C-alpha cells in the first residue's frame, strides 16, 4: 500500500466561475477543489488546514469523501454531528483513509451545514491497475474527469435561511462544467473544453457535484458506454445520454471515431420546480469536445438536439457479484421510510416518519465510542437514529413523495442494490448497485448488508432538504464498533476536535 498525501488549505477567496465575482469557500483556492487521484490499495492522508476567515459563510469545516466505504474508519467519513466535530478555524485535521481495494469515481465535499454550496467540493478518482474494463478504453486521466455543478451568486447561509422560512428551493444562477458556466445575462465565459485525439477511446468520469441541480448528459455524435456507476463496475451499456442527480457518478467510454471537428458536450441543468427552469438557458451548460486538429472555438453545428436513447437505471447490472444481499428471501429487517415537507409559522421542515433530523451536539460516533450508546434509546429522538444489527440484511422501503420531485437519497458507508427502482420490475438477481438513488413519486426499495460497523448518514442529497431535516442515521453494529474484531482505532486528533470546537466563542 502506498501512502498518498494531499494538503488541503481551506480558504476564502474570490472567484468568478461564470464571470460574476463572489467570495467562496475553496480547497486550495480553486473550484472545483484539487483533484484527488489514487490507486485502490493506497492509503490517503489529506491534511485539512482550516484557514477560513470570512464571517458571512461558515468558518468551521468538515470534509466527506462521498462513496468511500470507510471500513473501520468511520471517524474519517466527515459529516458533522454524525462522524466528527467540525474542524475549528485556525485548526487542522488529517483524514487518514485506507482505500481497502475500493476503486471508482468519487467526490468530496464539505459536510457541515450547506457549506459545500459555497464551493468546497471536488472529484476523487481511485484507479484499479487490474480494472476488468481496462481493455475498453485507452485514456483515463485528469483530462477525462467531467464535473457538473450548480453555482449561486449569493452565499449559502443567507439563501438557506430564506428557504427555511418556507420558500421554495434557492435557484442556482448557473450550472458549471469543470468549474465554468454562464448565467443568463452574463458574459460569454469560454466554455470548458475536453480534448480528444481521433481514434482514441476515453473513459470520461462524469460527476454531479451539485447541491440541487440535476443534468442530462450527452455528447453530440457520440454514444456513451456506461461501465461504472457510483464506484461500482457495471456490465457495459451503450446509450446516447443519461440523467445524473446530485451526488451521482458515471464512467462512460467514448470512442473518438468521428470526423475531426468540435462537438457539443451537453449537460443542461434541470431543477425540481419547472418554473425555475425558465431562468436557465440550456445552452449555457454546454462544453466543447475538441478533436486535435480541429479549429479552436465552438462547434458550428446546431446546439440543441433531443437525446433518443437515455439510460434507464433498471437496465444496469453489476459486473461483479451481482445479486441483492439475501437474494429474494425476506430481509432480516425491513425499514419503511416516508418523508414529508411541511411549513408551520414560517418554518419549513422535511421529516422522515414524522421526525425532522437535527444534528446532535455530541456526534453519533462519539456517543457510541465514549458513552457506550448501543440501543436506540441511547440516542436522542431528534437525531432519528436506527440501530442495525451486525451482518443483517437490511431492506429500506422509501416511499416517494407525491409532488413528483426527485429526491436523490444517498447512503454513507455502503453501496446498495436497487431491488425496486422508480421504474421497471423488481429485481433481486442482478439489480443496479450504487450509492445515490433518485426517488420520485413511487416506492423505491434498496438492500444492503450491515457489515460495516459505524454510524452512517442516509439523506436527500439536495442540500437544502438535508438542512431542513430530510435524513436519518444508521448506527450500524455499535457494539462491534466499540469492542469487536472490527473495532476501529480512534485517533487522539479526532477526539481533540470536539473540545476545540466546543470552546469556540
Q: List contacts with ligand C2O (CB under 6 A).
A: 64, 66, 79, 109, 111, 247, 410, 412, 457, 459, 461
Compute the least distance from the CB of residue 412 to ligand C2O, in Å: 6
Is the Cβ of residue 8 or residue 291 nearer to ligand C2O in the bound state? 8
Is the Cβ of residue 205 or residue 461 nearer to ligand C2O in the bound state? 461
Residue closest to ligand C2O (Cβ): 66
Compute the least distance from the CB of residue 474 to ligand C2O, in Å: 12
> Grid coordinates representing 307?
437525446
Is the Cβ of residue 133 or residue 459 nearer to ligand C2O in the bound state? 459
List, in sequence order, every beta strand (DSSP E) within 3-91.
3-15, 22-27, 36-39, 43-50, 63-66
CB under 8 Å to 25, separation ≥6 — which residues?
Answer: 10, 11, 12, 52, 54, 57, 58, 61, 110, 115, 118, 119, 120
Compute the least distance from the CB of residue 458 to ligand C2O, in Å: 8
Compute the least distance from the CB of residue 33 to ligand C2O, in Å: 14
Q: Can you tell me the distance from the alpha carbon of 135 to that of 98, in angstroms, rounded to the nearest whole number? A: 27
* Count of helix runs (H) and strand runs (E) in the chain: 5, 31
Is the Cβ of residue 173 or residue 230 nearer to ligand C2O in the bound state? 230
Is the Cβ of residue 205 or residue 290 nearer to ligand C2O in the bound state? 205
The dihedrals phi and psi of 208, each to the nearest 5 degrees, come to: -100, 105
Q: Can you tell me the distance from the alpha carbon of 145 to that of 336, in angstroms, rounded to the nearest whole number? A: 37
CB under 8 Å to 297, separation ≥6 — which residues?
Answer: 262
Where do runs of H (alpha helix) occur along 387-451? none
Compute the least distance from the CB of residue 329 to ligand C2O, in Å: 30
CB under 8 Å to 22, separation ≥6 — which residues?
Answer: 14, 15, 16, 153, 154, 155
Per the CB < 8 A criterion, the answer to whether 209 and 32 are in contact is yes
Compute the least distance from the CB of residue 11 to ligand C2O, in Å: 22
Is the Cβ of residue 247 or residue 431 nearer to ligand C2O in the bound state? 247
Residue-wise DSSP of 453-501: -EEEEEEESSHHHHHTT-EEEEEESHHHHHHSTT--PPPHHHHHHHHHH
Compute the least distance from the CB of residue 411 to ligand C2O, in Å: 9
Is the Cβ of residue 473 or residue 477 nearer to ligand C2O in the bound state? 473
User: What DSSP character marks residue 381?
Assistant: G
Compute the least distance from the CB of residue 230 to ligand C2O, in Å: 11
Is the Cβ of residue 105 or residue 218 nearer to ligand C2O in the bound state? 105
List, in sequence order, every beta strand (DSSP E) within 324-406.
333-344, 347-352, 385-388, 393-399
Compute the least distance from the CB of residue 289 to ligand C2O, in Å: 28
Per the CB < 8 A criterion, the answer to whether 38 and 99 are in contact is yes
Is the Cβ of residue 70 or residue 218 nearer to ligand C2O in the bound state? 70
Q: Can you tell me the distance from the alpha carbon of 111 to that of 149, in angstroms, rounded to the nearest whole number? A: 16
Amino acid at each position: 500500500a502506498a501512502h498518498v498525501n494531499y494538503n488541503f488549505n481551506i480558504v476564502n477567496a474570490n472567484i468568478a466561475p461564470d464571470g460574476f465575482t463572489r467570495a467562496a469557500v475553496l480547497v486550495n483556492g480553486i473550484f472545483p477543489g484539487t483533484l484527488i487521484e489514487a490507486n485502490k490499495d493506497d492509503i490517503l492522508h489529506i491534511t485539512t488546514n482550516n484557514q477560513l476567515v470570512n464571517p458571512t459563510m461558515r468558518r468551521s469545516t468538515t470534509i466527506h469523501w462521498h462513496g468511500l466505504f470507510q471500513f473501520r474508519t468511520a471517524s474519517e467519513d466527515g459529516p458533522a454531528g454524525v462522524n466528527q466535530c467540525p474542524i475549528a478555524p485556525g485548526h487542522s485535521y488529517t483524514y487518514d483513509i485506507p482505500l481497502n481495494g475500493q476503486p471508482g469515481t468519487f467526490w468530496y465535499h464539505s459536510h457541515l451545514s450547506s457549506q459545500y454550496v459555497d464551493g468546497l467540493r471536488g472529484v476523487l478518482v481511485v484507479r484499479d491497475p487490474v480494472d476488468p474494463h481496462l481493455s475498453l478504453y485507452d485514456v483515463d486521466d485528469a483530462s477525462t474527469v467531467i464535473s457538473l455543478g450548480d453555482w449561486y451568486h449569493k452565499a449559502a447561509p443567507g439563501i438557506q435561511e430564506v428557504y427555511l422560512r418556507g420558500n421554495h428551493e434557492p435557484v442556482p444562477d448557473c450550472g458549471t462544467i469543470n468549474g465554468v458556466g454562464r448565467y443568463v445575462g452574463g458574459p460569454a465565459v469560454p466554455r470548458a473544453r475536453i480534448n480528444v485525439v481521433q481514434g482514441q477511446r476515453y473513459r470520461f468520469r462524469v460527476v454531479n457535484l451539485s447541491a440541487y441541480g440535476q443534468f442530462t448528459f450527452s455528447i453530440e455524435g457520440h454514444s456513451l458506454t456506461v461501465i461504472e456507476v457510483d464506484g461500482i463496475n457495471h456490465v457495459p451499456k451503450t446509450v446516447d445520454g443519461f440523467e445524473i442527480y446530485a451526488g451521482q457518478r458515471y464512467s462512460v467510454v467514448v470512442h473518438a471515431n468521428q470526423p475531426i471537428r468540435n462537438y457539443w458536450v451537453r449537460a443542461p441543468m434541470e431543477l425540481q420546480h419547472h418554473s425555475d427552469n425558465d431562468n436557465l438557458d440550456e445552452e449555457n451548460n454546454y462544453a466543447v469536445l475538441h478533436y486535435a486538429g480541429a479549429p479552436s472555438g465552438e462547434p458550428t453545428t446546431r446546439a440543441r438536439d433531443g437525446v433518443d436513447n437515455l439510460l434507464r437505471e433498471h437496465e444496469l447490472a453489476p459486473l461483479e457479484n451481482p445479486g441483492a444481499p439475501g437474494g429474494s428471501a425476506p430481509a432480516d429487517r425491513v425499514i419503511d421510510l416516508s418523508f414529508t415537507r411541511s411549513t408551520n409559522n414560517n418554518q419549513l421542515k422535511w421529516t422522515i416518519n414524522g421526525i425532522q433530523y437535527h444534528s446532535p451536539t455530541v456526534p453519533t460516533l462519539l456517543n457510541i465510542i465514549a458513552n457506550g450508546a448501543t440501543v436506540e434509546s441511547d440516542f436522542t429522538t431528534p437525531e432519528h437514529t436506527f440501530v442495525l444489527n451486525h451482518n443483517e440484511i437490511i431492506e429500506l422501503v422509501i416511499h416517494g413523495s407525491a409532488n413528483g420531485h426527485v429526491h436523490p437519497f444517498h447512503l454513507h458507508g455502503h453501496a446498495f442494490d436497487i431491488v425496486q427502482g422508480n421504474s421497471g420490475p423488481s429485481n433481486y438477481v442482478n439489480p443496479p448497485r450504487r450509492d445515490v438513488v433518485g426517488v420520485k413519486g413511487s416506492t423505491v426499495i434498496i438492500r444492503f448488508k450491515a457489515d460495516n460497523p459505524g454510524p452512517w448518514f442516509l439523506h436527500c442529497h439536495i442540500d437544502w432538504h438535508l438542512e431542513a431535516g430530510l435524513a436519518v442515521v444508521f448506527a450500524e453494529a455499535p457494539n462491534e464498533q466499540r469492542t469487536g474484531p472490527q473495532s476501529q482505532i480512534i485517533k487522539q486528533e479526532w477526539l481533540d476536535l470536539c473540545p476545540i470546537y466546543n470552546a469556540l466563542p
